[in-house]
Structure 1
Amino acid sequence: MNKNTFFNRELSWIEFNARVLYQACRNDLPLLERIQFLSIVTSNFNEFFQVRVASIKRMQKIDSRKKDISGYTPTTLLKQISVRAHEVVNQKNKCLQEELFPLLEKEGYVYVKPENFTPEQQNFCQREFNSNILPLLTPLRTDTDVFPRISNLQYHAAFLLKPIQDIKPMNNEFITREGKQAIAFVQIPTGISRIVWLPGHTKAKQFTLVDNLVLQYGTQLFPGFEVKQSMLFNVIRDADFAVDEDAGPNFIEAMEEVLVQRQSSFAVRLNCNNSSAEIKKFLMKNLGLNSDDVYECDELIDPGCLLEIGKLEDTSRLKFENWEHFYPKSLPEDKPYWDTLKQHDVLLHVPYESYNPVVKFISDAADDPDVISIKMTLYRTGNDSPIISALKKAAQNGKQVTVLVELKARFDEERNIGWANELENAGVIVIQGIVNLKVHAKILMIIRKEEKAIRRYVHLATGNYNPKTAKLYSDMSIFTANPLIANDATMFFNIVTGYSALQSMKALSMAPVNIKSNIISMIQREIRMSSKANPGLIIAKMNSLTHEEVIAALYDASRAGVKVILNVRGICMLVPGVKGMSENIQVISIVDRYLEHERIFYFKNGGQSEIYLSSADWMNRNLDRRIELMFPILDPAIFTEIKDCLDTYVKSDMNTHQLRSDGTWLPRKPITGHGICRAQEVIYKKYKKIAEKKSTPKIQFQVRRKG
């Protein structure tokens, strides 16, 4: 297949962030939510440059002529990334400065630059700087043999210095360079709030940033020198490190070494304000960066720090309307779920429904004297996790608790190492991942002694065991006591925790063993069963689509007349709408208040429809290099509920973009004759209606009868 068959992965990823930025630029959305979308773009780009761009730069040094599947060499791709990323970043900065700051001021929150401080504010900021900021600062010289370490992602102030005439500096080395200019760096403190609230005599709440105070009053750090220029900057470094998988018992030490290396690895990008061309040039030279790697703006402000405004009182008007997280109708709130799950499976759809049932499921197991064992995987769990507390309690109560903690979860390695140590100290059996494979599957099994038999209860999910992200990410999971799935779950844990040879599972599919082959087989089955009179149908929802073999199979399906509807939140390398290749494929993407995270796959199968949920996207890394699970929906009621959700997503036209064959994403227009459909709102209202019915007391009528 030629380069026109696949969009480039990195450029497609940038377009996803352009869709997030589109939300930030919408004047019909609440102000703080727009700032939140800007913050997401910033953090996404940070990770993108640390991992993907760093990887391409490394490839450029190894083989600059090698083309990827989309036809780009590393050099041409880096150029295209720079062009498009600069466009997105410039639009982001423009949105913040020209739209959001004026709107904040209109709402009574005024950002004040140092040059606009009143005398009262100048005195206040000088005192604030001397008392709470100056003691935290450490100036770093740059005229030494070793260039100072600039930590990854940390904001710094840079000062261009010149000795004041007739004042003798204490630094003898600098004396020999008297009359010349030098540059010093100061890291902006990270342990304090970036926002500084200012005194004033207006109704508006005025604020500035710690960054401004360091730039304004940091001259105190250099007595005897005149500050000629100053600049705020941060550096994004390579974080695409692979830990030594053969480190054996020293694996955690090897992982910790990788975390240290990230802070001083090679530079990938420089962000700075445009106040000093000389300092910028100096940084570029010493960091080995060119103009394509530099991103300038009038003021370097992380929009995320502005979200602190949302913690103030009376800011609810600046946020989305509060949406409840409803307790599932099928689960009892006041007793364990064992009896319920013996009767039927239960679907949990967060964040529309509360994540509390997952925590309760584990907590009940920890306290239940009949529970013998708990087994689960942990990928990203968050801070202060009640799940960790429940697992520790279960072990202390004498249960056999086995947890596979994936230490290689990027940017969560340090936290996961801490969880692993904490669980081990509590008596939990901890498995530290699998050599050369990330364990990304989301599965929990509770083994319980009941009457004369052992019964297993299983929880399978599309998202992480993280109660905090479960309030923000849209994910699905099932609770089940189905013996077919329980047998496979037992097999799975035997495979990933012991020496068990690969075994054939009847319900579950596992990557890298057979998820890919099963998906391709089901696509091919759809082709065989499709006809003009009864065309096949595939509906798939996922985060990203990059796997060349799966994409090729979807192209074959399109050529055979199968209708393919793809709901892809992020990266999509498939090219839709090309005659003779993909004219029967449409691709949509939804970006709304919740992060779309479910992986749902529907196959019409000639009328015998099947639905699968999975932890895996259709990406090379998920299907070929990770331990993942895909599981069927066997309960008819749950099948109908998930299919209804899929259909709602397909109809969605609000907060929805559609991918064209030229790679552009256009906002979807409402379908003529239909009302506007915002998928997340429709789904929320459905669960709200169910909760209201559940909470409505039944009215009983007393009937008088003739005695």
Structure 2
Amino acid sequence: MTGDNNLSDKDASIPHSSSTPHFFNRDLSWIDFNERVLEEGLRGDMPPLERFRFLSILSANFDEFFMVRVAAVKRALRSGAGPVSSGETWLGRSPLPDPSGLSPDELLRKIAKKVRSISERQYRCLLFEIFPLLAKGGLELIRPDTYSISHMDYLETFFLGQVYPVLTPLRIEEDGDLPFIGGNNLNAAFLLEKEDDEEDEEHIAVIQLPKRLDRIIWLPAEEDSAEIHGGKWALLDDLVLTWGAYLFPGYRVKETMLFKINRDADFSVDEKRDEDFIEAMEEVIEGRSHSPVIRMTYSADSRRLKEELARRLELEEQDLYETEGPMDLGTLMDLANARGFDSLRLKPWKVYSNAAFSEDESLWDRISQRDVLIRLPYESFDPVVRFFQDAAADPQVISIKTALYRTSGTSAESSAVISPIIRALEQAALKGKHVTAMVELKARFDEERNISWANRLEKAGVIVVYGLARLKVHAKISMVIRREKEGVKRYVHLSTGNYNDKTAKLYEDLGIFTAREDIAMDASVFFNMLTGYSAIQSMRKLVIAPTSLKRRLLELIDREAKRSSQEYPGRIIVKVNALADTDVIEALYGASQAGVKITLVVRGICMLIPGLAGLSENIRVLSIIGHYLEHSRIYYFANGGAEEYYLASADWMPRNLERRVELMFPVLQEDMKTQIRDILNAYTRDTIQARLLESDGSWKRRTPSKGEEPFSVQEHLLSLAAKAGENLWAPRQEFVVRRGDPGKE
């Protein structure tokens, strides 16, 4: 795979000079990450449902990419700006030069070219490999051209009874305003003509497919089968296109087309509206539904409908993406979990209990003794949930404070889907405990849910703080204050991931429980800064963005460079999701030139170019795409032998280091340092899921050397959790006393 990131193979082989670009483009690098996701779906050694899962993730990723990143580039182009910034958004500030030197129009052309190439490979794989393999395994998609008579009878009856009553046809007037067409939603377009109209006048109507209806429609099993369905399934989309004519009596359907649009979602809230901030956020959510259209994906069934809709939506050819198979794969993710087809997917990975905790020991006693490391999702998220539940139930707990960015659940009105952490906070407040929750309303695409949770918590008596002006609170920290014999004691949980029990089963993250007084004091200072009037204060152990984290990182990198020597070269190992801050990258380049050996494990975006002679020849960049989503942030500095380990909520991007409230926290306990060291070493050893970034922008999959055993970091971490879990449940050893037979002398 070759990247398209401004450097040719020839450029990569020459020494670095001031005129040589030495940053990859942020957006093209992100697309390259999705190409790595695609390659997991292309793997012939993977079961077909696992492959389908990766292709579904890819489609969902691109939807958000166009709604946010491409929307921002288009806005920069309309404004007449020069090369666009690599920051998160350009709304409300002047565009900054893109370090890779691309102008908005150049970038949009490259984006379109790369996305089309990836989509073509995605659908070739889906149609000619995955679907045939699924059908062979008994999970078969039935399309209209293969409906049998029994299929037709069942599906038409299903459509008329379950689908038809819900649908709303919208006519598109030639000279009138375009009716509302929601973003990120499938729509069916119909080209109609009156049955008795001799002039053949054409009319267009659109039907939005309701999101509440399942797209997967299971066909009944054969009469002699004990199964509810036999593994055959149809698409709601096909039913609407096939029998949609029922909604247009007196008209003949000439052509049909399925389409979906992505609207601009790169909105910022008016930060000056303090008194009605929730209302301001609701206006942002509402604004997204009527914002400019960025992209249209469509089925290749009607050129006439495609051209007319593109014209009315003011889209250029570059904004149109034809799809040859089922659209919107992200909403078909449930297929990967279809019951009864375990042979078509990998055996589920077991989640193990953390050996540090037991049901018969107080959580507070355990944390008081030693810090505890939680390794998600190899170990259960239950101790985190228990942290809140025990705090809610314990009469000695007097206060709980937490910062919530994203949590689970879909509705604050239904107790069946409420987050267990939200429920615990609510119960604690109802019992009279002093509960404070910093709920970040600006968490993109989770704003509506967070507003709902915030309202529910307030009704229970929780003190809710709605974030900070001009900053997103992305830190993951909670504190429980408990009255004990010795006085008030604070227990702190710090994490690299969100307080979300659902994603905790899929995202790799690290968290620490501690009762250390210095960290607890810092936690108190942190929450006081979030909720009250407080000048920025220095902390003893925690490092906070945007005030000091970036400066501290630059100091740590610079210190490593200064302590590096030919005899004892410095060492930096960093694991992040994205690396896009040019100041940090320049510092890493400087450390490399000073002889520091640097390994970067970057899941997604990486603007740093490794392997450039005279600049970054000591830097190696790896990316891991595997069974779980890599999400933890780990920083290691050799520090002349006095090694330092840090965990953090922050990636190395401008938005994290300059426009968000983030936390970096040290790993202080020696046995925990050993665990983190082993984890980092395992990432650098991976020869199955790892890819190595070349200086030309391509990613090369690592393979075992001759005679070397294949090694997967994720399987290794799973085995470590399994061993710890086995030790937890192993029977206790007892002394066995040998006794003689009393019948013998």
Please point out which of 272, 275, 278 is paired with 2:304: 278
* Counterpart residue number, 2:360: 334
Number of the residue aligned with 1:364: 390
Mean Cα displacement is larger for which, 463-472 or 93-102?
A: 93-102
Deviations 1:149-191 (A, max 9, x none): 1100110010111122359xxxxxxxxxx53212110111221
Is 2:135 the counterpart of 1:89? no
Letter in 2 for 1:120: S
Structure 1 residues 16 and 310: CA distance shift in structure 2, 3 A: closer
Equivalent position to 2:275, from 249, 253, 263: 249
2:732 and 2:401 map into 1 onto residues whose CA distance is 40
Q: Deviation string for 1:266-323 (max 9, x for gaps)?
A: 0100000111111111111111111111110223433345443445432222222222
* Cα distance, 1:2–1:548 mapped onto 2, change above 3 Å: farther
CA, structure 1 residues 278+296, in 2 after alignment: closer, same or farther (shift >3 Å)? same
Determine whether 1:147 maps to 2:181.
no
Alignment of 1:619-630 (within 5 A): 619-630=653-664
Query: Among residues 320, 323, 336, which one is paired with 2:349 in the alignment?
Result: 323
| Paired letter, 1:161 | L
Instruction: Say yes or no: does 1:8 pair with 2:25.
Output: yes
Q: TM-score, normalised by structure 1?
A: 0.96
Q: Distance in 2 between matches of 1:659 and 1:350?
A: 26
The within-5 A match list for 1:548-567 is: 548-567=582-601
Can you list the C-alpha shifts for 1:583-636, whole angstroms capped at 9, x where unaligned? 000000000010000000000000000000000000000000000000000010
Map of 2:65 onto structure 1? 48
Distance 1:2 1:248, change over 3 A: farther
Aligned position for 1:192: 213
Shift of 1:2: 5.2
Query: What SS is found at the alignment partner of 1:248?
Result: coil
Give the alignment partner of residue 464 of structure 2, picking from 426, 430, 453.
Answer: 430
* Alpha-carbon distance in structure 1 between the residues aligned to 2:38 and 2:183: 24
Query: Could you say what secondary structure the match of 1:658 adopts?
Result: strand
Once the two structures are overlaid, the 10-residue window that deviates more, 386-395 or 136-145, is: 136-145
Q: Is the CA contact 1:443–1:461 (under 8 Å) kept in the aligned structure 2?
A: yes
Which residue of 2 is the match for residue 379 of structure 1?
Answer: 405
- The answer (yes or no) to whether the contact 1:233–1:300 under 8 Å persists in 2 is no
In the alignment, which of 338, 357, 378 is matched to residue 352 of structure 1? Answer: 378
Which secondary structure does the structure 2 equivalent of 1:534 belong to?
coil
Q: Give, in angstroms, the shift of residue 703 of structure 1.
A: 3.1
User: Does the CA contact (< 8 Å) of 2:593 and 2:618 recur in 1?
Assistant: yes
Contact 2:376–2:505 (8 Å) recurs in 1: yes
Q: Deviations over 1:207-251 (max 9, x none)?
A: 210100110111121122211111000000100011111111211
2:190 is aligned, of 159, 165, 169, to 159
1:292 matched to 2:309? The reply is no
Q: What is the aligned counterpart of 2:285 among 222, 245, 259?
A: 259
Q: 1 CA distance for matches of 2:260 and 2:201? A: 25
Equivalent position amino acid for 1:695 in 2: W
RMSD over aligned CA atoms reads 1.6
Conserved? CA contact 2:542–2:664, under 8 Å = yes
2:495 pairs with 1:487: no
For residues 113 and 704 of structure 1, what CA distance do their matches in structure 2 show? 73
Q: Distance in 1 between matches of 2:107 and 2:640?
A: 43
Gap change, CA 1:166 and 1:430, over 3 Å in 2: closer
> 1:151 and 1:382, CA in 2 relative to 1: closer, same or farther beyond 3 A?
same
Identity of aligned residues (%): 48
Secondary structure of 2:178's partner?
coil
Q: Within 2, Cα distance between the matches of 1:618 and 1:672?
A: 35
Letter in 2 for 1:370: Q
Aligned residue for 1:22? 39
Structure 1, residues 129-162: CA drift from partner, whole Å, max 9, x if none? 1111111111111115211111001100101111
- 2:566 is paired with a residue whose SS is coil
Instruction: Kindly state the Cα deviation for residue 694 of structure 1 after the two structures are TM-superposed.
Output: 2.1
Aligned letter for 1:498?
Answer: G
Is 1:232–1:300's contact at 8 Å kept on the other side of the alignment?
Answer: no
Counterpart of 1:98, as a letter, is F
- The CA deviation at 1:705 is 8.6
Q: Deviation of residue 86 (structure 1)? A: 0.6
Matched, 1:135 2:152: no
Distance 2:613 2:648 in 1: 31
Q: Which residue of 1 aligns with 2:621?
A: 587
- Aligned match of 1:57: 74
1:228-243 equivalence runs, <5 A:
228-243=254-269
Task: Tell me, yes or no, if the aligned pair for 2:56 and 2:332 is still in contact at 8 Å.
Answer: no
Q: Deviations over 1:527-586 (max 9, x none)?
A: 111001110000000000000000000000000110000000000000000000000000
- For the Cα contact (< 8 Å) 2:134–2:344, is it kept in 1? no
Partner SS for 1:475: strand
In structure 2, the residue matched to 1:35 is: 52
Contact 2:50 2:336 in 1 (8 A): no
Task: Return the TM-score normalized by structure 2.
Answer: 0.92
C-alpha separation in 1, matches of 2:20 and 2:579: 16
Of 560, 567, 583, 1:526 maps to 560
Distance (Å, rounded) in 2 between the aligned partners of 1:319 and 1:381: 28
The residue type equivalent to 2:165 in the other structure is P
The answer as to 2:238 corresponding to 1:217 is no
Kept in 2, the 8 Å contact 1:603–1:611? The answer is: yes
Moved more, 62-71 or 671-680: 62-71
| 2:419 pairs with 1:419 | no
Question: Residue 29 of structure 1: CA displacement?
Answer: 1.2
1:36–1:303 CA contact under 8 A, matched in 2: no
Deviation at 1:257, TM superposition (A): 1.1
> Structure with the greater relative contact order (CA < 8 A, sep ≥ 6): 1 or 2?
2
Q: Distance in 2 between matches of 1:223 and 1:393?
A: 55
In 1, Cα distance between the equivalents of 2:326 and 2:601? 35
Name 1:661's counterpart in structure 2.
695
**Preserved contact between residue 433 and residue 439 of structure 1 (Cα < 8 Å):** yes
Equivalent of residue 119 in structure 1, options 149, 155, 158: 149
Distance 1:696 1:125 in 2: 54
Specify the SS of the correspondent of 1:553.
helix
Structure 2 residue identity aligned to 1:160: L
The 8 Å contact of residues 32 and 307 in structure 1, kept in 2 or not, is answered as no
CA deviation vs aligned residue, 1:400-423 (integer Å, no higher than 9, x gap): 000000000000000000000000
Aligned counterpart for 1:670 among listed residues 692, 695, 704: 704
* C-alpha distance in structure 2 between counterparts of 1:111 and 1:600, whole Å: 43
- Kindly provide the amino acid, as one letter, of the partner of residue 105 in structure 2: T
Partners of 1:308 and 1:632 lie apart in 2 by 39
Aligned-partner Cα distance in 2 for 1:457–1:696: 29
| Alignment gaps of 5+ in structure 1 | 168-177
Letter in 1 for 2:213: I
Shift of 1:89: 1.2
Aligned to 2:231: 205
- Quick one: distance in 2 between partners of 1:702 and 1:224? 90
Superposed, 1:634-653 pairs within 5 Å as 634-653=668-687
Is 2:483 the counterpart of 1:449?
A: yes
**1:121 to partner: Cα distance:** 1.3
The question of whether the paired residues in 1 share the 8 Å contact of 2:52 and 2:336 is answered with no
Q: Aligned partners of 2:528 and 2:541: how far apart in 1? A: 16
